[in-house]
Each structure stands twice: as structure tokens, then as C-alpha cells.
């Protein structure tokens, strides 16, 4: 056992209490020092670095409001919708808790999307932070699952039929699809069994997974250190006497106080939505979800919540003609790989065989299956980003100007896909979505090539920082 410390003479009650706890729980104080007061973060963080702490704040809001909602919610197909109305009308402050939870779901995706985009801009997925990025992508996947399972719980028209459509997509998987869809639903249609399954996943299973992944994400981050807008490793320049990074400052109190500003602005916007526009024009809470689920009446237009719509748009864009485009792209890619040269005879044969197999698979399975593959692949491809980016510099600050335009177009395409995913199907909308889908995947698939092209700026030895 470590030797007990003694409080200095004349110490205050707070100091004595701190020493008392530190003697009996030294691990907590050691971890506090490692992850807060003695964790040195780059001193040039900007506004983009608010979103990580905001994501943590929203996670806490969702857990706390979820606990209070579950106290009154009934996971029963005959009672679920009525229990939500009971929360809204009869439970004291129930309307506020429900709106905080529904607004928090959208806010979670907003801050996570911005957090991920900041990582893309500044190369926060590059060596040595590959695991930090992978854990972050796993959090994103878990968050999507959490949102999907929770979406059914109000048992409204849109949530019921939305779940029916999404679960039916699993049936498109060859051989195991129908049995897998049956396993997920627990019945041949979305029913009380499905509601209970989704409730257990939403309330117990996935929150535990999310918390575990968040802890892993933070531990991995603090082991390798935070990136910064310049993409410079601050550990490379340390004070020879103290071993402290010259461009680092303690996370606490500097960035804990810094983040309070971001939290204040976020809570103002968050509260404005809750009190003045909780449905936000039907994007945060769809109007059809204020109608009880009716298995015998299909809504005229079924669309997922806004944060899923870019991927849903890619799913709908994958038609039979689009599959033929994939065949052409695969053939061109195979020919391009052969023309590039540098491969042995055996490798060339392997490339040709692989290309022919992919083309055969594209023609064997129907467009619905490939739509599911495209939708899933749009998320899974993010995991490969650390190995796709071959740029000699990390940060967008030191890349060619046209790289910035490319990232800007990527954002516009993502927004357009999201908008099209909400709209009813049309010929023009499908064509635009198909172009957007090809651009989305080309952005990542061709990244090993385009990320190395252009005139790069010299990266400074120290971070750029202007005191203010």
C-alpha cells in the first residue's frame, strides 16, 4: 500500500478532504492527472474541436432523458403509442423530456458528422491515430443502430413502415436474407415481438456498446495524443527540462473552460429547437409519427429520418441500369490496373480473374441486393480512410487548393443525396442520386491517387498559434 500523505498545516477543509480521498482512491487521481490536468493537448485548437465534447454532452443528455422516458413507456404494440401520448400530456414535464430526447437524437448526428468531417480535414485518421478513427467509425455504426432501433418505439405510422422497409432490406441478402429478416423481426411482419426486440437493443444493448466504444476512443486518443489543425505531432518538440511538449497546454483547465463556450452556444440552439420548433418542419419528428401505426394502411411516401437519407438515397439509386454502370466501372478499373504495369504475370491473371468474378456477381444478384451493399459500403469504406489517404501532409491547410474544392464538393454531394433521400422517387432525382453515389465512392476509391497530386505547402516545425 502506498504511503499516506498528510494535509499541510492550515489546510482548508477542501484540501483535507482531497488528501483523504487521494489516500484511499489513488487510482482515480492518477487517471485524472493522466487524462485531464497532465494531458497536454495542442494549443491551437479551433472551433472545429468543440464537437467532440459536444458529442459527449449529447450522449449524457440522451442517457438521462432516456431513463426518464423508459419509466413511463410501455413496449407493447397495443400500448406504445398511447404511452408516448401519456408522457406528452400527463407526465409532469414529460413533453420536455420527450422533446429533449428526440432533438438530442438529431443533435447527436449533427455533432458527430461535423466531428468526423473535422477529422477528414485535418488528417486525424493518419498514423498514429488509425485506431482512434476506427473506434470513432464503430461509434458511428453503433449510433446508427441505436437510432434505428429507437425509431420504431413511438409506434407511429412512419416509424412502423420505416422499420418494415429497412428490415425487409435484409431479406435481399442471398441465401440467408429471409431467415435473417425473420430473426430481426421475430415475426413475419413488424409486430409486438419486433417492438420488444428493438426496445431491448435500444435501451440496454447498444447504449452499453456505445459507452464502451467511447471509452476506447478516448483512451486510444490520449495514448497517442490529439491531432491539431496543422497536423503536426507536438510530442516531437518537448522542453528538455520538463519533457512537456512546447506546443501543448494542459487539457484541464484550458480546454475544459474553452469547451464551456461551445456548450453554451450549443445549449442555446438546442433549447431554441426544443421550445420553438421541436418537429423542425417534420425533419426531427415526422408528422406521420403522430398517427398510430396501422399495418393495413401504407403511407404515400416512406422515408427515413434525415440523418439516414444520404445512404437511403444511394440505396434507391442502385437500379438495374446503375448495376450496368458498376460493371463498366469494374471493367475499366481492371483494364487500368493492367495498363499501369509493375505486376507479375501471376498478379495480372489474378487481377483479371478478380474483375471477371466481380462482374459475374454484379450480373447474378439483383439490384436490390447491390443497393444494400452500396448503402452498407458507404459507411464501411470510412474504416479504410487511414490507408486510402497517401498525401504527404495531414492537414488540408498545406494541401493544394483544388483539394479544398474537392472536399467542398464532397459535402455538397452528401447534402444533395440527403435531400433526395427525403423526396419521392423521380427520374431526375434518381439520375442525380446515381451521379452523387458514383462521386461519393470515387472520392474514396481514387484517394490513393488524387491525394498525392498537386503542389503541397511546407509544413512548419511548430504549430501556428496566435494568442488572443
* Whether residues 231 and 374 fall in one domain: no
Indicate whether 23 belongs to any domain: no
Are the C-beta atoms of residues 163 and 194 closer than 8 Å to each other?
yes
pLDDT tens-digit series, residues 24-56: 888 888 888 888 888 899 999 999 999 999 999
> Three cell numbers at 103?
432533438
H-helix segments, 279-400: 309-317, 320-340, 345-364, 367-380, 385-388
- Asked if 285 and 313 sit in the same domain, the reply is no
- Mean pLDDT confidence for 280-295: 92
Grid cell for residue 360:
459475374
Answer yes or no: is 464 within a domain. no
DSSP 379-438: HHGGGGHHHH---SSSSGGGS-HHHHHHHHHHHHHHHHHHHHHHSPP-HHHHHHHHHHHH
Three-state DSSP at 156 gives strand
Q: pLDDT per residue over 139-176, tens digit each? A: 999 999 999 999 999 999 999 999 998 998 888 888 89
Model pLDDT for residues 79-126, shown as the tens digit of each residue: 999 999 999 999 999 999 999 999 999 999 999 999 999 999 999 999
Do 111 and 209 belong to one domain? yes
Residues 429, 373 share a domain = yes
Query: Kind and range of the H or E element at 41?
Result: strand 40-42
Same domain for 313 and 210: no
Would residue 10 count as lying in a domain?
no
Domain that holds residue 386: 309-450
| pLDDT at residue 138 tops 60 | yes
pLDDT tens, residue by residue, 174-230: 889 899 999 999 999 999 999 999 999 999 999 999 999 999 999 999 999 999 999
- Is the domain of 262 the same as that of 336? no
Provide the mean pLDDT of the chain. Answer: 92
Tell me what pLDDT residue 348 has. 81
Is 266 inside a domain boundary?
A: yes
364 located within any domain: yes
Q: What percent of the chain has pLDDT over 70?
A: 99
Assess whether 284 and 404 both reside in one domain: no
Of 290, 325, 342, which residue constitutes the final position of a domain?
290
Shared-domain flag, residues 269 and 408: no
According to the model, what pLDDT value does residue 42 have?
93
Look at the block and give the residue holding cell 484517394: 447
pLDDT at 465: 79
Domain assignment present for residue 209? The answer is yes
CA distance 257 to 250: 11
Average pLDDT over residues 312-341: 90
- Give me the number of domains the chain comprises: 2
Question: Are residues 282 and 374 located together in one domain of the fold?
Answer: no
Statement to judge: residues 111 and 199 lie in one domain: yes
Does residue 367 lie within any of the structural domains? yes
| Residue 373 and residue 256 share a domain | no
CATH number of 379's domain: 1.20.810.10
Q: How many CA atoms lie within 13 A of 103 on its CB side?
A: 23
- As a residue count, the chain comes to 468
Average pLDDT over residues 322-326: 93
Same domain assignment for residues 251 and 122: yes
Contact 148, 206 (CB under 8 A): no
Lowest-pLDDT range, 191-195, 347-351, 395-399? Answer: 347-351
**Residue 4 Cα to chain centre, angstroms:** 45
pTM of the model: 0.94
Question: Is residue 76 included in any domain, yes or no?
Answer: yes
Q: Measured between alpha carbons, how far is 59 from 208 in angstroms, rounded to an integer?
A: 12
Amino acid at each position: 500500500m502506498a504511503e499516506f500523505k498528510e494535509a499541510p498545516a492550515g489546510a482548508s477543509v477542501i484540501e483535507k478532504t482531497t488528501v483523504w480521498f487521494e489516500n484511499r482512491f489513488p487510482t482515480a487521481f492518477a487517471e485524472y492527472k493522466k487524462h485531464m490536468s497532465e494531458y497536454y493537448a495542442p494549443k491551437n485548437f479551433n472551433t472545429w474541436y468543440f464537437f467532440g465534447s459536444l458529442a459527449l454532452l449529447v450522449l449524457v443528455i440522451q442517457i438521462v432523458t432516456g431513463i426518464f422516458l423508459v419509466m413511463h413507456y410501455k413496449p407493447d404494440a397495443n400500448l406504445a403509442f398511447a404511452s408516448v401520448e401519456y408522457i406528452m400530456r400527463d407526465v409532469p414535464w414529460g413533453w420536455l423530456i420527450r422533446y429533449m430526447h428526440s432533438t438530442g437524437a438529431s443533435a447527436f448526428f449533427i455533432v458527430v458528422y461535423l466531428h468526423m468531417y473535422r477529422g477528414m480535414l485535418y488528417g486525424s485518421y493518419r498514423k498514429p491515430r488509425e485506431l482512434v478513427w476506427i473506434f470513432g467509425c464503430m461509434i458511428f455504426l453503433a449510433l446508427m443502430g441505436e437510432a434505428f432501433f429507437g425509431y420504431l418505439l413511438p409506434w407511429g405510422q412512419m416509424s412502423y413502415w420505416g422499420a418494415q422497409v429497412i428490415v425487409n432490406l435484409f431479406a435481399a441478402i442471398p441465401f440467408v436474407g429471409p431467415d435473417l429478416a425473420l430473426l430481426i423481426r421475430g415475426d413475419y411482419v413488424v409486430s409486438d415481438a419486433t417492438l420488444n426486440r428493438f426496445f431491448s437493443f435500444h435501451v440496454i444493448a447498444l447504449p452499453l456498446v456505445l459507452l464502451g466504444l467511447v471509452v476506447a476512443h478516448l483512451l486510444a486518443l490520449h495514448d497517442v495524443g490529439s491531432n491539431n489543425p496543422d497536423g503536426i505531432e507536438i510530442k516531437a518538440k518537448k522542453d528538455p527540462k520538463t519533457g512537456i511538449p512546447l506546443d501543448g497546454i494542459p487539457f484541464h483547465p484550458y480546454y475544459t473552460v474553452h469547451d464551456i463556450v461551445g456548450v453554451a452556444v450549443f445549449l442555446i440552439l438546442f433549447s431554441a429547437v426544443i421550445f420553438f420548433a421541436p418537429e423542425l418542419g417534420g425533419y426531427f419528428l415526422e408528422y406521420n409519427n403522430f398517427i398510430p401505426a396501422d399495418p393495413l394502411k401504407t403511407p404515400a411516401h416512406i422515408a427515413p429520418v434525415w440523418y439516414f437519407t444520404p445512404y437511403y438515397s444511394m440505396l434507391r439509386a442502385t437500379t438495374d441500369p446503375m448495376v450496368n454502370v458498376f460493371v463498366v466501372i469494374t471493367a475499366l478499373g481492371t483494364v487500368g490496373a493492367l495498363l499501369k504495369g509493375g505486376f507479375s504475370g501471376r498478379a495480372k491473371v489474378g487481377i483479371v480473374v478478380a474483375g471477371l468474378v466481380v462482374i459475374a456477381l454484379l450480373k447474378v444478384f439483383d439490384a436490390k441486393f447491390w443497393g444494400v451493399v452500396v448503402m452498407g459500403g458507404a459507411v464501411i469504406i470510412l474504416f479504410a480512410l487511414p490507408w486510402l489517404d497517401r498525401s504527404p501532409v495531414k492537414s488540408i491547410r498545406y494541401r493544394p487548393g483544388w483539394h479544398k474544392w474537392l472536399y467542398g464538393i464532397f459535402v455538397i454531394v452528401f447534402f444533395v443525396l440527403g435531400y433526395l433521400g427525403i423526396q419521392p422517387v423521380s427520374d431526375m432525382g434518381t439520375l442525380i442520386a446515381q451521379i452523387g453515389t458514383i462521386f461519393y465512392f470515387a472520392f474514396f476509391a481514387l484517394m490513393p491517387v488524387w491525394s498525392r497530386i498537386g503542389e503541397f505547402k511546407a509544413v512548419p516545425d511548430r504549430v501556428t498559434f496566435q494568442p488572443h
